[in-house]
């Protein structure tokens, strides 16, 4: 097996198995061809943007399938992306791609589904049975600080806590972060017990990550109450809010708070491979 970068000379050789050159990608587009015994066996299209390599397509010719060539091709793409300085390889596909999904999972990718979307007002949340009893109806111990209030030591503790919870802290971009709405609860020992990270996109406040330590349920409830108070104090509470709950904990808590099921938000899934 040999993998080559497709150029204008070799492109006709792969003409029936690759996206047209005009296929739009962000960053530098790279077309790769797979050769097996001097025959065109497959192709892949990827692009490099910053620390991410995006895998747009993988195709193996029918006569060469079921021989492990697709696996070898993607494994080589992973090695190529790491050598090019990328920290992630990301593939996107439709949710009905079960065979592709199983293939990517077997290679070590993990899945990131499009966020579940909820539309509600702060008043709806305050009036829900769950909020009345558990969020606003009780007092909980702990100190709540936003990222804009934490010092360097506290910020490092928050980042370490998030990283331990599976959040890719290297992807954190301060310019996209609503620092006043990204909160952490510190317990009586000064340790981080729960955190929420948020960002904004058009009319949406996005819950990028919600995480708590084991047995830190009280601090989690304090965090949620403080979060909604911060939303109101920062002028976001007067109109209906569109929240995107991204991880499992955020999904579960948002459903309890609102008593609603999520609205459809698309059909895409992302498969991500970490290179660090």
Lowest mean pLDDT among 3-12, 110-119, 122-131, 148-157: 110-119
pTM: 0.57
Which residue do the tokens 């104090």 mark?
Answer: 233
Q: Which tokens in the block code for residue 212?
A: 């708590």
Q: Residues of the chain with pLDDT > 90: what percent?
A: 28
How far is Cα 35 from Cα 83, in angstroms, rounded to an integer? 21
Reported confidence tier of residue 157, pLDDT bands at 50, 70, 90: very high
CA dihedral for 135, 139, 141, 142, sign (positive or negative) = positive
∠ CA 189-195-197 to the nearest 5 degrees? 150
Lowest mean pLDDT among 14-28, 87-101, 181-195, 231-245: 14-28
Whole-number pLDDT of residue 7: 87
- Please provide the average confidence, as pLDDT, over all residues in the chain: 82
Q: Is 29 helix (H, G, I), strand (E, B) or coil?
A: strand
pLDDT digits (tens, 9 = 90+) for 54-94: 888 888 998 999 899 999 999 999 999 999 888 888 886 64
Reported confidence tier of residue 175, pLDDT bands at 50, 70, 90: very low
Residue 202 has pLDDT above 70, yes or no: no
Reported confidence tier of residue 149, pLDDT bands at 50, 70, 90: very high
The answer to whether the beta carbons of residues 4 and 29 sit under 8 Å apart is no
Residues 127-152, mean pLDDT to the nearest whole number: 92
**Domains along the chain?**
2-86 (3.40.630.30), 116-264 (3.40.630)
Whole-number pLDDT of residue 40: 92
Whole-number pLDDT of residue 265: 54
The answer to whether the beta carbons of residues 33 and 3 sit under 8 Å apart is yes
Residue 21 has pLDDT above 60, yes or no: no
Whole-number pLDDT of residue 124: 86
The answer to whether the beta carbons of residues 77 and 87 sit under 8 Å apart is no
Q: Write phi, then psi, for 171 (nearest 5 degrees).
A: -90, 0
Cα-to-chain-centroid distance, residue 149: 26
């Amino acid at each position: 097996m040999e993998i080559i970068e497709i150029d204008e000379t070799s492109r006709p050789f792969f003409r029936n198995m690759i996206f047209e050159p005009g296929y739009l990608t962000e960053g530098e587009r790279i077309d790769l061809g797979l050769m097996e015994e001097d025959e065109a066996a497959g192709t892949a299209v990827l692009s490099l943007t910053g620390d991410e390599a995006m895998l747009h397509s993988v195709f193996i010719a029918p006569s060469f399938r079921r021989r492990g060539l697709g696996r070898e091709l993607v494994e080589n793409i992973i090695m190529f992306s790491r050598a090019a300085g990328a920290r992630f390889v990301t593939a996107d596909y439709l949710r009905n791609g079960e065979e592709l999904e199983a293939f990517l999972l077997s290679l070590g990718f993990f899945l990131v589904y499009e966020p579940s979307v909820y539309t509600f007002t702060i008043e709806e949340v305050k009036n829900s049975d769950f909020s009345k009893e558990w969020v606003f109806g009780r007092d909980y111990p702990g100190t709540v600080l936003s990222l804009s209030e934490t010092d360097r030591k506290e910020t490092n503790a928050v980042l370490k806590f998030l990283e331990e919870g599976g959040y890719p802290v290297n992807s954190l971009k301060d310019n996209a972060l609503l620092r006043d709405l990204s909160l952490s609860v510190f317990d009586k020992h000064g340790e981080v017990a729960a955190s929420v990270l948020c960002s904004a996109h058009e009319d949406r406040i996005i819950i990028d990550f919600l995480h708590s330590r084991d047995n830190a349920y009280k601090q989690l409830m304090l965090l949620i109450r403080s979060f909604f108070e911060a939303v109101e104090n920062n002028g976001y509470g007067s109109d209906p809010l569109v929240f995107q709950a991204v991880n499992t904990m955020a999904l579960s808590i948002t459903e309890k708070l609102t008593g609603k099921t999520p609205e459809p938000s698309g059909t895409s899934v992302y498969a991500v491979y970490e290179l660090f």
